[in-house]
Amino acid sequence: MLRQVTTDPREDLALAGSSWLRALEPWKRAALLEQRALRLKALRKQPRAAEMLFTALGQQQMTAEAVALYKAGRLPAGVRAVADLCCGLGGDSMRLPPEVLVLGVDLHEETLRAWRHNTGLYRSSGTWAVRADVTRLETRPGTVDGIFMDPARRTLAESYGERDFDAEPEPGWDSLAAITRRFGNAALKLGPGTRLPDLFGDAHLDYECEYIGLRDECLELTVRTGAFGKPGWVRAAELYPVGPQGFAAAVVEAPAADLDATFGNVSEPGSWFYEPVKSVVRAHLFGVLAERHGLWQLDGRLAYLGGNARVESPLLKRYRMLRVLPCDEAVLKAEIAAREVGILEIKKRGLDIKPEDWRKRLKPRGPNTATLVFTRLQGKASVLWVERD
């Protein structure tokens, strides 16, 4: 019945009015239609979403398949068993190597039912589901070689009455640090904007921070400890398609202690303008990336780069530098009118502007397109007219 609902080509309203669906109890109708909607939403993350079971919260937080495969590929040799704590719907568990035993742990039976079903699509054996509070989970020494953990996220505003924080995990930082310290080898999935608080450092955990991106969207911060990472390092990985279904990873990394020394190579714009992908920006590795490719920053600590060489990298979006203009409405409006620009893309970094407001003020009209970058050049507000290569 669920397969029939999922594959029915009709829109939801027409489907909901079908005689066979109306004959069901109301709660069954609602459940079937909810699963259909969640499966459709999940297709961007999971190619086999039409066969999976979802919860609304789990679908939102579920790891995308490409990311899960990448994370599984970073497991060190010799790992025999992994506990997936706060396992959710199985996004990470499903793609762990088949020879690795997986223990899925979650507090909610509904979630575990979905986890069993979803992992069963990829793994015929070697999985166990345990309903438990991960902060009280008891395992014998040597049972697992490390943990994956995808804690639920609540806004820090809920905890501290603030609005400007990104997210914190649930269980909280103290519990998370204690669990990580206990198992030693860990890969903790956090929101990409998460700020690790001092108390996490006070737990004497040496860890790697890895920012993982896909389609120029930074999807998660993975905190890695022990043999599951390179403690003391910061890393950015951008996944990009190779072939019809595969993905590869472009990576830049550096010791966290060396990051500040990579900033400060600043110069005027060159022939090319480069915008690092969001995972690199989140990791503050754009100075390292600039040095790798012979580029430079256009302003102190901003993630806009310039150069005179044409660099090919999945970590960089490349534009031709056409002209530098003052951040002046009259000058920009005249340039837009003279070049008959009707489709105007506006980027910004380092200036407090609203692109939509400027687009209205510049009144673009005409058949041509343009990209304007509002930023600072060595402290001075400027606008770069660039063209995507």
Q: How confident is the model at residue 321 (pLDDT cuts 50, 70, 90)?
A: very high
Residues 171, 95 share a domain: yes
Residues 83, 130 share a domain: yes
Whether 250 is in a domain gets the answer: no
Report which DSSP code applies to 266: B
Q: What is the pLDDT of residues 183-215, one digit of tens each?
A: 999 999 999 999 888 766 655 568 999 999 999
Residues 277, 195 share a domain: no
Inter-residue contact 209 to 235 (CB < 8 Å): yes
Whether 245 is in a domain gets the answer: no
Say if strands 316-326 and 272-276 run parallel, antiparallel, or are unpaired: antiparallel
Residues 210, 88 share a domain: yes
Q: Output the domain CATH number for residue 124.
A: 3.40.50.150
In this structure, the chain runs to a length of 389
Report the domain count for the chain: 3
369: which strand partners?
343
Q: Output the domain CATH number for residue 295.
A: 3.30.2130
Give the mean pLDDT of 30-52. Answer: 92
Taken in order 22, 25, 26, 27, the sign of the CA dihedral is: negative
pLDDT > 70? residue 272? yes
Q: How many helices (H) and strands (E) does the chain have?
A: 14, 18
Rounded Cα distance, 344 and 143, in Å: 58
Q: Which residues of 76-99 are buried (b: 16+ CB within 10 A; e: fewer)?
A: eeebebbbbbbbbbbbbbbbbeee
pLDDT > 80? residue 60? yes
Give the mean pLDDT of 244-255. Answer: 94
Whether 118 is in a domain gets the answer: yes
Whether 180 is in a domain gets the answer: yes
How high is the mean pLDDT of the chain? 91
Q: Is 273 helix (H, G, I), strand (E, B) or coil?
A: strand
Query: Which segment of 201-210, 280-289, 361-370 scores lowest on mean pLDDT?
Result: 201-210
More confident residue, 51 or 160: 51
Q: How confident is the model at residue 59 (pLDDT cuts 50, 70, 90)?
A: very high
Residues 106, 33 share a domain: no
Which two structure tokens, joined as six digits, stand for 165?
């924080």
- What's the pLDDT score for residue 160? 39
Taken in order 116, 117, 119, 125, the sign of the CA dihedral is: positive
Residues 172, 87 share a domain: yes
Whether 236 is in a domain gets the answer: no
Rounded Cα distance, 234 and 23, in Å: 56
- What's the pLDDT score for residue 201? 61
266: which strand partners?
297
Residues 219, 138 share a domain: yes
pLDDT > 60? residue 154? no
Residues 120, 66 share a domain: yes
Q: Residue 130, by phi and psi: left (phi above 0), alpha (psi -120 to 50) or beta?
A: beta
Residues 281, 145 share a domain: no
Give the mean pLDDT of 10-37. Answer: 83
pLDDT > 70? residue 235? yes
Taken in order 113, 115, 118, 123, the sign of the CA dihedral is: negative
Residues 135, 96 share a domain: yes
Query: Which segment of 50-59, 135-144, 150-159, 261-270 scores lowest on mean pLDDT?
Result: 150-159
Residues 265, 222 share a domain: no
Whether 90 is in a domain gets the answer: yes
Q: Which of 189, 215, 231 is the last residue of a domain?
A: 231
Q: Which of 194, 197, 205 is nearest to 229 (CA)?
A: 205
Q: What is the pLDDT of residues 62-95, one digit of tens each?
A: 999 999 999 999 999 999 999 999 999 999 999 9
The whole domain housing 373 covers 259-388
Query: Which segment of 2-6, 54-58, 205-209, 239-243 scores lowest on mean pLDDT?
Result: 2-6
More confident residue, 204 or 361: 361
Q: Which of 190, 215, 231 is the last residue of a domain?
A: 231
Rounded Cα distance, 257 and 185, in Å: 22
Whether 252 is in a domain gets the answer: no
Whether 25 is in a domain gets the answer: yes
- What's the pLDDT score for residue 21? 79
* pTM, entire model: 0.91
Rounded Cα distance, 121 and 98, in Å: 12
- What's the pLDDT score for residue 156? 40
Please count the CA atoms within 13 angstroms of the CA of 293 that sit on its side-chain side. Answer: 26
Q: What is the pLDDT of residues 90-134, one digit of tens each?
A: 999 999 999 999 999 999 999 999 999 999 999 999 999 999 999
Other C-beta atoms closer than 10 Å to the C-beta of 131 total: 12
Q: What is the pLDDT of residues 24-36, one digit of tens each?
A: 888 888 888 889 9
Q: How confident is the model at residue 42 (pLDDT cuts 50, 70, 90)?
A: very high
Other C-beta atoms closer than 10 Å to the C-beta of 269 total: 21
Query: Which segment of 40-44, 271-275, 313-317, 368-372 scores lowest on mean pLDDT?
Result: 40-44
Residues 141, 23 share a domain: no
Which two structure tokens, joined as six digits, stand for 360?
């209205």
Q: Which residues of 241-257 are buried (b: 16+ CB within 10 A; e: fewer)?
A: eeeeeebebbbbbbebe
